[in-house]
């Protein structure tokens, strides 16, 4: 399947593994567009029904899931709100019955540094990127424990391993995602649940298109720094997430997999 961003072909998707997630229900936060939408589409292509969670309209992403023949359930939720996440858990149960695979993708991004980050901005970003991660996971892990099987895949960022000024709150939050992944994996492993993270490099999405148009980013110049000189596209990340969510990765836990063409080495 060809992938386009802003109408420009940027790569293809790997062949589906249709039975990989047969009988599973996956939930993806931040599923309306970009990388989250690719996660939802790939999990559906590999056999999962998908719950799409976002504050934005998920209709187009849901249509892509249904085009694979799988069920799509759309739920609006601000994951930074404890009250909305509490309602989310009930909605998932009513709509899909359960959640076997959780992909914690939703996040906010800012460019502010130490001197121009307000306390309000700091708290709002951490409320979504870190509190939201905790709240959604805490709400859905009990069901996985009860069934003795579950997959949690968190989304970190290679900004943690780069020399990069600004974006203080964002980079801090993504560093915490790695710590959360390792700590949670130790806790829930005995319950049959694995917890891993994927660490995307600079990825061709609607946001990077907007950044390039505004003159704040030279995508191709950054690609030239990679040993593998091809820009990362959402499908590259979705392939890895689908693997981590599968039975094939049954003994992979507490790991962070970098998908960036080879720049960051953990």
Coil, helix or strand at residue 39: helix
Q: 238, 250, 150: which is closest to 198 by C-alpha?
A: 238
What tens digit of pLDDT does each residue of 82-122 get?
Answer: 999 999 999 999 999 999 999 999 999 988 999 999 999 99
Q: Are 165 and 146 in contact (CB under 8 A)?
A: no
Residue spans per domain, the chain: 17-203+237-257
Q: Topology of domain 17-203+237-257, per CATH?
A: Rossmann fold (3.40.50)
Stated as kind and residue range, the H or E segment containing 136 is helix 132-147
Phi, psi of 26 (to 5 degrees): -110, 145
Q: Which residues are designated catalytic?
A: 170
Q: Are 252 and 181 in contact (CB under 8 A)?
A: no
Examine the pLDDT at 196 and tell me if it is beyond 90.
Answer: yes
Other CB atoms within 10 Å distance of the CB of residue 7: 6
What tens digit of pLDDT does each residue of 14-47 get?
Answer: 899 989 999 999 999 999 999 999 999 999 999 9
CA distances from 1 to 6, 7, 65 (A): 16, 14, 14
Q: 72, 74, 76, 15: which is closest to 44 by C-alpha?
A: 72
The span from the CA of 89 to the CA of 153, in Å, is 18
> What pLDDT is attached to residue 12?
66
> What pLDDT is attached to residue 8?
41
């Amino acid at each position: 399947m060809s992938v386009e961003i802003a109408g420009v072909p940027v790569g293809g998707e790997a062949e589906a593994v249709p039975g990989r997630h047969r009988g599973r229900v996956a939930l993806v936060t931040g599923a309306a567009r970009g990388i989250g939408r690719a996660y939802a589409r790939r999990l559906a292509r590999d056999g999962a029904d998908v719950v799409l969670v976002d504050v934005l309209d998920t209709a187009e992403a849901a249509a892509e899931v249904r085009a694979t023949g799988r069920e799509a359930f759309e739920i609006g939720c601000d994951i930074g709100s404890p009250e909305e996440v509490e309602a989310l858990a009930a909605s998932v149960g009513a709509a899909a019955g359960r959640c076997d695979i959780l992909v914690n993708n939703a996040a906010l991004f800012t460019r502010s540094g130490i001197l121009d980050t307000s306390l309000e901005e700091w708290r709002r970003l951490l409320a979504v990127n870190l509190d939201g991660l905790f709240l959604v996971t805490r709400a859905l892990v009990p069901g996985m424990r009860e069934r003795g099987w579950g997959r949690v895949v968190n989304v970190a960022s290679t900004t943690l391993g780069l020399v990069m000024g600004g974006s203080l709150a964002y980079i801090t939050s993504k560093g915490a995602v790695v710590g959360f992944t390792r700590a949670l994996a130790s806790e829930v492993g005995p319950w049959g649940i694995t917890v891993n993270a994927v660490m995307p490099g600079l990825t061709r999405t609607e946001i990077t298109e907007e950044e390039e148009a505004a003159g704040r980013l030279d995508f191709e110049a950054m690609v030239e720094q990679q040993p593998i000189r091809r820009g990362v596209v959402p499908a590259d990340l979705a392939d890895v997430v689908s693997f981590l969510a599968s039975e094939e990765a049954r003994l992979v836990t507490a790991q962070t997999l970098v998908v960036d063409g080879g720049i960051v080495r953990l």
